C-alpha cells in the first residue's frame, strides 16, 4: 500500500496507476487509515475540506464538495460537530468523506475498521459498499478478515506471510448486496481458507 501511495519506492520494477508510474505521493491516490487522522480542533466539515484547502480550491467550492461527500457517507447533519463528539464509526466515515472530497482515482484503505466493535464494523462494511455503488471509485482495501474481504471485494488477493507476496488472486463473482450465509459466499470462503492452509471442515467445498 505504501508503494501504491507513493510513500516508498520499489527496489525493482514499477508501480503503475492507470498506466502511469507512481513516483511519489499525489492527489491520484488517497489513504484512509485505521487511526482516522482527524484534526480535533476542526469541525467535521472543515476536516473534510482539508485536502481541498491544500489543493487551493476556492472556499465556496470547498464547502460544496465537502457537503456532498458528507451526504454520501450519511453525515450531512454532523458537519458542525467535532471529532470528540463522534463515535468511532462516525469518525471513520468522516475520514472516508475527506478522501472522497478530493475525487481521487484510488482510495487506499489500511484496515480501516480494525479498531471498531463487531456490529459497527458490519454496519460500516454495508455503508462502504453503498458509497462504492454511488462513486464507483477503485478501492484497495487491506484486511485480515476473510469474510470482510469477500463481502466487499470484486477481487481478493491472498498474501504470503514472509516475504509478503501476493500468492493468489480470487475473482469474486457475487452480486450485490451479498449474504454472508449464502452457499456461494461460503464456497468462496472455503477456497480462500484452503489457500491460507486453514480450510474449515464445516464450510462446504463445492466447485463453482
Please give the pLDDT value at position 169. 96
User: Using one digit for the tens of pLDDT, what is the confidence trace for 48-98?
Assistant: 999 999 999 999 999 999 999 999 999 999 999 999 999 989 999 999 999
Rounded CA gap, 50 and 40, in Å?
13
Picking from 112, 142, 172, the residue at the C-terminal end of a domain is: 142
User: Using one digit for the tens of pLDDT, what is the confidence trace for 87-139?
Assistant: 989 999 999 999 999 999 999 999 999 888 899 899 899 989 988 998 899 99
What value does the mean pLDDT take over residues 184-191? 92
Q: 3-state class of 156 per DSSP?
A: strand
User: Using one digit for the tens of pLDDT, what is the confidence trace for 26-39?
Assistant: 889 999 988 878 99
Rounded CA gap, 208 and 104, in Å?
35
Please give the pLDDT value at position 201. 47
β-pair type (106-110, 155-159): unpaired
Maximum Cα interatomic distance, the chain, rounded to a whole number of Å: 58
Q: Looking at the structure, tell me whether residues 164 and 85 fall in a common domain.
A: no
Q: Looking at the structure, tell me whether residues 116 and 37 fall in a common domain.
A: yes
Please give the pLDDT value at position 177. 87
Task: Write the CATH number for 65.
Answer: 3.40.50.300
Residue 172 has pLDDT above 60, yes or no: yes
Q: Looking at the structure, tell me whether residues 162 and 90 fall in a common domain.
A: no
Rounded CA gap, 96 and 69, in Å?
8
Q: Could you count the other beta carbons within 10 Å of the beta carbon of residue 99?
A: 23
Please give the pLDDT value at position 204. 54
Q: Which domain holds residue 73?
A: 2-142
Contact between 79 and 62 (Cβ < 8 Å):
no
Amino acid at each position: 500500500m505504501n508503494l501504491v501511495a507513493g510513500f516508498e519506492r520499489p527496489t525493482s520494477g514499477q508501480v503503475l496507476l492507470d498506466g502511469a508510474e507512481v513516483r511519489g505521493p499525489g492527489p491520484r491516490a488517497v489513504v484512509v487509515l485505521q487511526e482516522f487522522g482527524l484534526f480535533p480542533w476542526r469541525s467535521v466539515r472543515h476536516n473534510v475540506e482539508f485536502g481541498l484547502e491544500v489543493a487551493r480550491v476556492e472556499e465556496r467550492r470547498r464547502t460544496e464538495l465537502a457537503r456532498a461527500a458528507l451526504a454520501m457517507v450519511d453525515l450531512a447533519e454532523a458537519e458542525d460537530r467535532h471529532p470528540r463528539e463522534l463515535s468511532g464509526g462516525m469518525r471513520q466515515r468522516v475520514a472516508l468523506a475527506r478522501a472522497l472530497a478530493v475525487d481521487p482515482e484510488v482510495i487506499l484503505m489500511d484496515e480501516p475498521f480494525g479498531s471498531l466493535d463487531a456490529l459497527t464494523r458490519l454496519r460500516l462494511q454495508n455503508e462502504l459498499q453503498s458509497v462504492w455503488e454511488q462513486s464507483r471509485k477503485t478501492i484497495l482495501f487491506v484486511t485480515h478478515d476473510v469474510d470482510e474481504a469477500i463481502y466487499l471485494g470484486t477481487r481478493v488477493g491472498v498474501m504470503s506471510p514472509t516475504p509478503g507476496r501476493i500468492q493468489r488472486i480470487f475473482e469474486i463473482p457475487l452480486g450485490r448486496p451479498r449474504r454472508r450465509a449464502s452457499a456461494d459466499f461460503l464456497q468462496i470462503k472455503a477456497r480462500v481458507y484452503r489457500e491460507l492452509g486453514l480450510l474449515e471442515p464445516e464450510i462446504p467445498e463445492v466447485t463453482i
